[in-house]
Structure 1
Amino acid sequence: MSLTLAERIDALLPQTQCRKCGFEGCKPYAEAMAQGAADINHCPPGGQAGIAKLADLLGVAAKPLDPSCGTEGPRLVAVINEADCIGCTKCLPPCPTDAILGASKHMHTVIAALCTGCELCVAPCPVACISMIPAQANEWTSEDAERSRRRYQLKNQRLARQEAEKVERLAKQKQLLAKLKTKTQL
């Protein structure tokens, strides 16, 4: 099976799902590049090496990273100061790979090996107990990217399934209420 241009572009992206490119994740950014609607220099986690790979694939000249998207830097991971964590769970939904563990009113922690360094968990934290520190392994490998892509896909599948189940539950409740209403009117 031959890959589409968008799939080949997506395979070169780091799969951090950080949204710094201005898209909702790596795949939408890849699709926009394939359609000519986005430039190759909007991915800070991919940096100049990523831009060079994209330029080579697309047969265009490499260019510097667009500074409006951020800057290239060392690989980071989120760390939660567990003593300050209030268990609000606001960091859980934005994490693209479910790398944060925790429950309501209980301390949370980050599984560093699964953290993409996207920083999406930092802003929602009401007590500023999440910080970004340099990762022990500075290099983000293609294996890391593939694991991140798969975890992101699994999270999206889980969320879609939960939403479908919620819609189904609500439809059943409406049916029951309609039946009850009909019975009380008789």
Structure 2
Amino acid sequence: MKIATKYIVVAILLVGFTSCQKNSRPNYQYMPNMYEPIGYEAYQESDAFANGVEAQLPAEGSIPRGNFMPYEIEDTNEGYELAKASLTNPLDSTQVDFVRGKELYDVYCGICHGNKGNGQGKLVQREKILGVPSYDDAGRAITTGSIYHVIYYGKNTMGSYANQLNEEERWQVTAYVEKLKAELEK
């Protein structure tokens, strides 16, 4: 009896589905925007804004995300030389924190350059990376600008740390690298 009831229910459903089908009319579209998208231009006028302008001020009470200042020196050899010659640390002596600079240096730089800046980090000692220079190598005129530029863009096999360190942290690391360089030259 149970099996017969199941067959009857299935037969009624099949008849119901086939009897409701009409090929002469279109099927229903439950989400028509997915099939026929509406194109918007980036700077077109819109009724979404109160004044019909392209943009509005941030909502009252919103919190800005960081103080991003663009770094305007290009990632070229000429940009490197310009940074080397003209870029100076905007942090004065009261803002430089060598303890914090050392912590950041140990996390991001020490693995290759060594904790003393002598080019003998763990990866160099294990021969995973070769040719990491010491900060006191003869013929290398390292300046504040060149250190910051290399941290920002990277150089040779060293990658950029612009995403890992914000601007203030990059300057802290730059000041700490200068301190290491001075200690190595003694």
Report the TM range for the smaller structure's normalisation: under 0.3
Larger strand percent: 1
Give the TM-score normalised by the residue count of structure 2. 0.19
Give the TM-score normalised by the residue count of structure 1. 0.19
